[in-house]
Amino acid sequence: MTVSIAARPYEFKLDPSRAAFVIIDMQRDFVEPGGFGAALGNDVSLLRTAIAPIGAVLSVCRAAEILVIHTREGHRPDLSDLNGAKHRRGRFATRIGDDGPMGRILIRGAEGHEIIPELFPEPGEPVIDKPGKGAFYATDLETILRGRGITQLILAGVTTEVCVHTTLREANDRGFECLVLEDGTASYFPEFHRAALEMACAQDGIFGWVAPSAAVISALQTGEVI
């Protein structure tokens, strides 16, 4: 059974039983002041536009019993999984592992590392802790997806051109069909957000499909069953 989602570059045939909604890095460290995003010099308020659309799709996916997966970017407290290049990069006063107002920056167990309350995982929803930008790198995400027979991913979260796009590319090369949630992603750089979405679906879907939350919700609630 599939439902048809109005998407770019053309309709996406979603099979809810083989799909997962993957919410990437909606952590306090990226969307609240004093976290990793702010330490990199960004205006974190720009990312908050994605929260309501993700929340709306999350409710519909839970009701439709679509697998929901959350990811968190972060590192072990002893920094043993933080490569030196990532640690050293940039000329910032505050780095990964340093103390901040929400605890140590981008460290597992710190307040800032946690997923925001609006999108907090429900029991049973896998949470993938990842040390890199892509959700497949050095994680068990692929094993979990293959084990459940998942072949399609709806991708949302932050930031569009960094962790969402890296995951999109990793998933594409692994044979997953991907749809990026247009208004459920956001960037500190609005022009990068727009370009990243165009890049995803250019060339008749070089990496996959792009659709707004309303199209996904409408397809799942009232969509024609094909």
Rounded Cα–Cα distance for residues 210 and 212 (Å): 7
Residue closer to ligand TIU, measured from CB, 152 or 159: 159
Q: Which residues are catalytic?
A: 25, 130, 163
Task: Enter the tokens of residue 84.
Answer: 């030196």
Give every CB contact of residue 66 below 8 A, 6+ residues apart in sequence.
Answer: 16, 19, 20, 21, 154, 220
Is 110 a residue that touches ligand TIU (CB under 6 A)? Answer: no
Rounded Cα–Cα distance for residues 189 and 32 (Å): 16
Rounded Cα–Cα distance for residues 191 and 118 (Å): 26
Strand pairing report for 12-14 and 3-5: antiparallel
Rounded Cα–Cα distance for residues 119 and 125 (Å): 12
**Shortest distance in whole angstroms from residue 108 CB to ligand TIU:** 15
Residue closer to ligand TIU, measured from CB, 20 or 158: 158
**Shortest distance in whole angstroms from residue 135 CB to ligand TIU:** 9
**Shortest distance in whole angstroms from residue 219 CB to ligand TIU:** 27
- Print the binding letters for residues 153-172 with ligand TIU: x by CB under 6 A, - otherwise: -----xx--xx---------
**Shortest distance in whole angstroms from residue 43 CB to ligand TIU:** 12
Interface with ligand TIU in residues 58-77 (CB under 6 A): 73
Q: Which residues pair with 68 in a beta bridge?
A: 21
Q: Apex CA 98: angle with CA 111 and CA 156, to 5°?
A: 50
Is 116 a residue that touches ligand TIU (CB under 6 A)? Answer: no
Residue closer to ligand TIU, measured from CB, 106 or 217: 106
Binding site for ligand TIU (CB under 6 A): 25, 30, 40, 73, 133, 158-159, 162-163, 188
